Structure 1
Amino acid sequence: MFRLPRSTLSGILLSSYTASSIYSLHRCLLSATVAGSRISPSPSFAVDEYLVDTCSLTRPQALKASAKISHIKSPTNPDAVLAFLAGLGFSGADVSALIAKDPKFLCASVGRTLSPIFKELTGLGLSHSEVVRLVSLTARSGHFRHRFVVSRVHYYLSLFGSSENLLHALKGRFCFLGSDLERRVKPTVMLLQECGLGACDIAKLLTVVPSMLTANPERIRVMVACAEGIGVPRGSRIFRAALHAVAFQSEEKVAAKVEYSRNTFGWSHAEVGIAVSKFPNLLRNSKDKLQRMSEFFISEVGLEPAYIAHQPVMLGYSLEGRLRPRYYVVKFLKKNGLLKRVPKCSTIFHYVEKSFVDRYIRPHKEDAPHLAEDYPAACRGEMCWNF
């Protein structure tokens, strides 16, 4: 548990941060900042003990972190930083996690760095809670301690279209806030624009593949060529999906996935080309999923490989959560003479959930009342999918 520093800031940290306590906090921070240059080193101050006692790091974490901030000789600045974080709404667990990832955060100046950055970020439209999330997401990289973070967040807010999209992209292991905007990021964005992707498509692509923002632009060109190589031309409606499907994969690996799909479904070279060009995300499916899909569509449902190749979007749906339950609902209705006309399989699987229920469940609540309970239970995996 996060324990408060034994200093004049303890009272501030213990407060509920009402208007008066916020005022006291700023006065205290100002005093600490001004006095920082006058306070002599404390002979009894030990960084590793401070990290354990005050920041609640474990012994191993403290030993590792203390090596990076061994020059700290007084708790004055660390106390001010902790008070600043508490004022933003950081919990004890949040603080511990932050300091464990970025112990140098305790060295940052509240008055010259942290407070101005926070003020400028909220000026860009980020809420207090979003700034807290941003600090946590960038902790390992330490970017929040540098003033350049403001201009880069400003650029990325425009690129991603919203703070939520930006924060979602930062959840991954690639912290692109440190990438050179002029040499890497902007050339990549320009190349994507040249491929016919609009601002919305670029934002969606980079949200799911944020590592593209840290890659060399030449590598992005290779991805573009690979996407074209699977039969999806630039400017097409699904070019974004094609880039996502081949991102950071070698041509050999992509070719191997295409060949595996061809063999698994018994497609000809022309048919696998049709399937991949219509649904590039086919290449993101695991071998196990492709095998199970093949067994279901060909062995259970009885579809021809050519039909599947021309309706490959079906391969993107959940087998247990969508395909099998729907197939057995329609099979049941057909067996009991409750369907006037049997729809195509692709039609059954493509319906949004509400439309499927409105067409095949609700109209039969008198003749098959159990379907209304059995179908959703099967979709949730709570009962056998064949009811």
Structure 2
Amino acid sequence: MMFVQTFGRRCNGGHREREVFFSFFISRSPYSTTAAEASTAFLPEYLAGTLGFSREESISAAAKVTCYTSTTKPALVVDYLKRMGLDLTQIRKCVSRYPKLLYFDVDKNLDPKLQCLQEVGLSGSDLADVIARGAQFLERGLDTNLKPNLAFLKLVFGNNEDVRKTIKNYPAMLRTSCQIMQDNVSYFQKLGFSNEKIKWYISRKPMALRFPLQWFEERVHMLEKDFGIPRESPMFFYGMYAIASASKLSMEKKFAVFRSFGWADSDIITMFQHQPFYFTLSEANLQKKLDYFMNKVGYTPDFLSTRSALTYSLEKRVLPRVYVLNTLKEKKLSVKNHCLYSIICFTEAKFEKLFLLPYKDAVPELYGSYKSRVGR
């Protein structure tokens, strides 16, 4: 009672006191039902009945959107997505990952934005994947974000097909600041990168364009001062590609992997000047390949630092070819004398011509076994 009396005095007057008290009491009555509570009960049933969610899935999805109360928008959104060519499985995937999707306004938000994506060729399963993996772009402005981003990507690539592929693979590009992307491309041009190289870079690492300009400036400094690669070097662009999206911690971990196999820092720098793509490999991948080439084959840091051996897949290229060589050796069949590294570097056609086709009669099972190992 003390709370009501004190609060009533602050509200100036007994009549106001009674109004506040009863309002306070009723709002907390176990018999009252709010719109939010009604929506909470509605959505799990709707998700289960219309989209085929399990009980656990529907409760989990509904718990993420308790602030929305409409019981009509979900049906409007689902009907619209069906008209856009998405089937129930695709819609369920979108809603499961982003339940808020059910509460967007179809006419004001969904339709104009998804129409933009359809204009660059995104539809059906591609469109469903973009929504499921990056639907947050729907929260951004049509004219202030989505249209400028698409226009910029069209300008860079020169065609809708590459824009479609980029957005499909990296949906977060749709919510990236267009100004940041423009600033980064301008910076690449300032560094002397051709438009073709910039297009190549963006098609492979578009997400790097989301970083602030300072990020790239720091890595340019790293390439020039730490790795000794001048801007005019042909390897500068590839060095930038290799480390542009790598954090300093990631770089330090990769240095540590090489050092654990006895590499000096000078070996690592020499390697980076010749093979910067090594730094695009994960630490686990580096560890596995260094273990094979150094501990099993016997290559030294001096040999590996200037050659591309680590760029090849162990499972799909190196080990299947070693298997062929060992099989031929066991059969005491004469083969042309090439070093292992050269054999690894041969094109598939040349490897088959030298080491498979001449022995199809002598070792008939070898060709098929090799193909199964490389997954062809």
* TM-score category (smaller protein): 0.7 to 0.9
2:144 matched to 1:156? no
Task: Give the aligned partner of residue 309 of structure 1.
Answer: 305
Give unpaired runs (5+ residues) of structure 1. 1-42, 382-387
Task: Give the aligned partner of residue 346 of structure 1.
Answer: 341
Q: Given that residues 61 and 99 in structure 2 are in contact (C-alpha distance below 8 angstroms), is that contact kept between their aligned partners in structure 1? A: no
Task: Give the aligned partner of residue 12 of structure 1.
Answer: none
| Correspondence 1:61-100 to 2 at 5 A | 61-67=61-67, 69-70=68-69, 72=70, 75=72, 77-100=73-96
Task: Give the aligned partner of residue 385 of structure 1.
Answer: none
Shift of 1:222: 1.1
Counting matched residue pairs gives 331
2:363 matched to 1:368? yes
Task: Identify the match of residue 258 of structure 2 among 254, 261, 284.
Answer: 261
Change (3 A) 1:63 1:132: closer
Partners in 2 of 1:314 and 1:306 — Cα distance? 12
Query: What letter is aligned with 2:219?
Result: M
Change (3 A) 1:321 1:142: same
Partners in 2 of 1:201 and 1:50 — Cα distance? 53
Provide the secondary structure at the position in 2 that maps to 1:139.
Answer: helix
Task: Give the aligned partner of residue 46 of structure 2.
Answer: 54
Shift of 1:135: 3.3
Change (3 A) 1:114 1:239: same
Partners in 2 of 1:194 and 1:119 — Cα distance? 35
Q: Given that residues 184 and 209 in structure 2 are in contact (C-alpha distance below 8 angstroms), is that contact kept between their aligned partners in structure 1? A: yes
The alignment yields a C-alpha RMSD, in angstroms, of 3.5
Q: Which has the higher contact order (CA 8 A, sep 6+)?
A: 1
Q: Given that residues 268 and 305 in structure 2 are in contact (C-alpha distance below 8 angstroms), is that contact kept between their aligned partners in structure 1? A: yes
Instruction: Kindly indicate which of the two structures has a greater share of residues assigned to helix.
Output: 2
Partners in 1 of 2:219 and 2:205 — Cα distance? 12
Task: Identify the match of residue 350 of structure 2 among 350, 355, 364.
Answer: 355
Shift of 1:270: 4.2
Partners in 1 of 2:94 and 2:287 — Cα distance? 43
Query: What letter is aligned with 1:51?
Result: L
TM-score (normalizing by structure 1): 0.71
Partners in 2 of 1:360 and 1:307 — Cα distance? 25
Task: Give the aligned partner of residue 138 of structure 1.
Answer: 134
Instruction: State which structure, 1 or 2, has the greater radius of gyration over its C-alpha atoms.
Output: 2
Change (3 A) 1:97 1:333: closer
Provide the secondary structure at the position in 1 that maps to 2:135.
Answer: coil
Partners in 2 of 1:106 and 1:185 — Cα distance? 30
Change (3 A) 1:83 1:289: closer
Shift of 1:360: 1.1
TM-score (normalizing by structure 2): 0.73
Task: Give the aligned partner of residue 187 of structure 1.
Answer: 183
Q: Given that residues 223 and 247 in structure 1 are in contact (C-alpha distance below 8 angstroms), is that contact kept between their aligned partners in structure 2? A: yes
Partners in 2 of 1:171 and 1:120 — Cα distance? 14
